[in-house]
Amino acid sequence: MTGQPPPDPQSRPHRPGPPDEAEWDKAAVTFATEQLTRVRASATTWTGTVGTLLGLFGAVAIIGGPTKLTDVPSPTLRWIIVSLITSAGILAAASIVTGVRAANGATLRTSDNWSGSAYRAAVITNTDDALNWLRRARWTGLAAALTVFTIGLLGLISVAAQPKQKTATTAVIVDQTGTAACGPIGRTAKGQLTVNGTPIGNVRDITPVTACPAPSR
């Protein structure tokens, strides 16, 4: 022990920042102050896109929907598709409403205590609020798009899985007695020829026609 105080720890030399640090600080301030404007512009673009898609979806659902639903063979599946159409419309409308809320937001109001700090706090708060609404708009819009895709897929699968109906051939058949009969022809389980579902005995002549001739008076 020499009684001398310990030496002061050597401090690390100060390293100056990069030459353009002031420019980066200025850019950071500009980015922060313009963030709310960018978010609202993005929300406006998104709302316009969803609005266009909703218009096209509505035209398809109203004009072509009833015709396409009649092609779906299963009544249960038709009700499922109707429910999905309703859900898609609600989701698309919700996406537009939340997008409009994100694009407009609350109006900044000044007060007697208005200052740079108050403006900064208002911008941060409104930016967070706009981002949350924009996030909801995007999720509901994507959900609406997926629902519409599901509707189309179900319709295609149901129509593709439906067995094709065979078109009956219409013909004029003359039996051995000279009696003529006209109508759709077919066969019984034993293979006997039928006209309008009625078995025909020995057939002398068969003439295919597009339509049965009108009976003579």
Domain boundaries, the chain: 25-161, 170-208
The answer to whether 210 and 172 are in contact (CB under 8 A) is: no
- What burial class does residue 185 get, using C-beta atoms within 10 Å of its C-beta: 0-12 exposed, 13-18 middle, 19+ buried? buried
Give me the residue label for tokens 């030496």. Answer: 7
Between 9 and 180, where is the model more confident?
180
Of 3-7, 107-111, 155-159, the range with the highest mean pLDDT is 155-159
User: What's the rounded Cα separation, in Å, for the pair 187 and 189?
Assistant: 7
19 in helix, strand or coil? coil
pTM: 0.55
User: What's the rounded Cα separation, in Å, for the pair 143 and 147?
Assistant: 6
184 in helix, strand or coil? strand
Return the structure tokens found at 108. Answer: 């900044």
Average pLDDT in the chain: 75
Q: What is the pLDDT, as a whole number, of residue 69?
A: 66
- pLDDT (tens digit per residue) in 38-90: 888 888 887 787 777 767 666 555 545 544 666 677 788 888 888 888 888 89
* 194: β partners: 186, 199
pLDDT-derived band of residue 10, with 50, 70 and 90 as boundaries? low
77 in helix, strand or coil? helix
